Amino acid sequence: MDSQHWRATITAAQSGDRRALDELVAGWLPLVYNIVGRALNGHADVDDVVQETMLRAVDNLGSLRDPDSFRSWLVAIAMRQIRDRARRRTADRLEEAAAADFAELTVLRLQLEGQRREVAEAVRWLDDEDRQLLSLWWLEVAGELTRRELAAAVGITRQHAAVRVQRMKERLETSRGIVRALDGACPDLRELTGRWNGRPDSVWRKRLARHIRGCRYCGDTRESVVPAERLLVGIALVPLPVGFTLSLAFGGKTAVAAGSAGWSAKLLGAFTKPAVAMTAGATIVAGGAYVVTQPPDAPPPRAAVTPTATAASEPPPSATPSPTPTPSPPATKKADLYGTVVDAVDRAPDPDARPAALPRRPESGITSTGGPKAVMQHRGDSVTLSGQGYVLVRWQISPHARPGAVVMPTWTGLKGKLFHVASGGWRRMDDPLPGAPNGYVTGMGGPDIGYAVLPPGTQQMWQNEYFYVDGTVTLTQNERGCDYGIAVSPSSWQAVDKDVNEGPAQGAIRYGLVRDTGTDSAPVPQYVTRSTPADPARVPQRSRV
């Protein structure tokens, strides 16, 4: 919407127009959420800081003399709340309260790939002050803020802002080099990071930067590095997460403070009445609660486009919905039936529930470049499987060594067909471990050691996962966050059938799960492609081959 519309909307909201205020909050909330989320990198305090920012903006809206300065005024409020929050908390307490990683959220929700993804992940390596500045600079180069607004929000001159931004960009480029190197397979870097706990900080940023400067392997950039500002131009805002709630129900403190402004009393009265304003899947409901909603089977939400006072942003990239199970393709496309059943997230079967019968497929034998048992414990380890038969992938997750997000292994260079036929090993990885107190400790971690976290929509793996290969495919270990290892070995129908049907030696707690239908409509694994990408970790999650 143009600046004239927002000027009128702000003026109407100042006069107590409930609908105008609803529109104002809904329209500008994504901008505030992106600034705070990126400045705090998804810390657990993000929701509180966003809420306090919007409360202060609404409560002080009557003091805004020039509607054209609303955006810079709102951004300045957000930055003050971010700085106030930093003063209230110590570094140790910030570490304890860490929540969702905003860098990962940016990658997932905007479907960033290549060097754009690299920039988003590099943000983790910046110090708090640089992240706060980057949260504004990112929006400046994306067309959401002006340099004048950035400088005003930080409280410095435009000339000083230029110097600060340049220094921050230099550290961001150093961080991009670290992300690139950690994605590689340098043996010296692997040895160096053996003592690293996986949490980015300034000390390790300097150590890794020194290694990269002196390492021919890590310093060998095989593709031209595009400046960050060129990568960020036109990127949409990260949409509000489903379930995000912003409560604007005012209490006595706010109402008393509003007594000095006649418009606020009228505004508060309007907010206590039922109101609904739909915008990009979000709802403002009775009492002023802003809740982001999404239908159960809806595709990922499009990125929200925040209104600007100058010009509209480029349209956000549209998310490609996951293919639906067993569609009905045209008769001339019968071969496309293979791979159209996606191995979607399922719930664990009931304890002691017997699995379905396991169909038997032809077995001429599987050869593996890793021998009888390939143990892959480091990022970049891979094994190529060829032939016709069953394969076991056995999981070992180690959140006690390094918890965090799991970057899943990927199947690349597929020639032929690949199916996910069964899950076994007597347990899912999220089942409680034997003897664990209150069932809180599982193969995915626990409250004392942290948890291994799967990407949204990823199938929960079992201890043993079985696949059927008819052709050739390469499996690559892509560990980056949580520490994990996988052992890959050729298997047989008899071994799979025995595993899923026997259950644990101490009596069946959980039998296996048969996924194979015996036809081309059987599930294919997630993270599989016929291409051979330079970086296997970038393979999309959806399964369609």
- The pLDDT tens digits for 492-504 are 999 999 999 987 6
Instruction: Quote the pLDDT of residue 105.
Output: 67
pTM score > 0.75 for this model? no
Phi-psi region of 143 (alpha: psi -120 to 50; beta: other; left: phi over 0): left
User: Which has the closest alpha carbon to 393: 455, 459, 456, 325?
Assistant: 459
Instruction: Quote the pLDDT of residue 545.
Output: 79
Which residue type, as a one-letter code, is found at position 184? Answer: G
> Predicted confidence band at 294 (pLDDT cuts at 50, 70, 90)?
very low
Greater model confidence, 434 or 283: 434
91-114 confidence digits (pLDDT tens): 444 444 334 467 766 766 666 777
Greater model confidence, 323 or 415: 415
Greater model confidence, 98 or 409: 409
User: What are the beta bridge partners of residue 453?
Assistant: 405
3-14 and 18-39 are packed helices; what angle lies between their axes, rounded to 10 degrees?
110
Average pLDDT, the chain: 78
Measured CA to CA in angstroms, residue 237 lies from 100, 244, 304 at distances of: 17, 15, 6
150-182 confidence digits (pLDDT tens): 999 888 998 999 999 999 999 999 999 998 888
Long-range contact pairs involving 211-216 (C-beta distance under 8 Å, separation at least 24): 211/181, 212/177, 212/178, 212/181, 215/181, 215/186, 215/188, 215/189
Average pLDDT over residues 528-535: 91
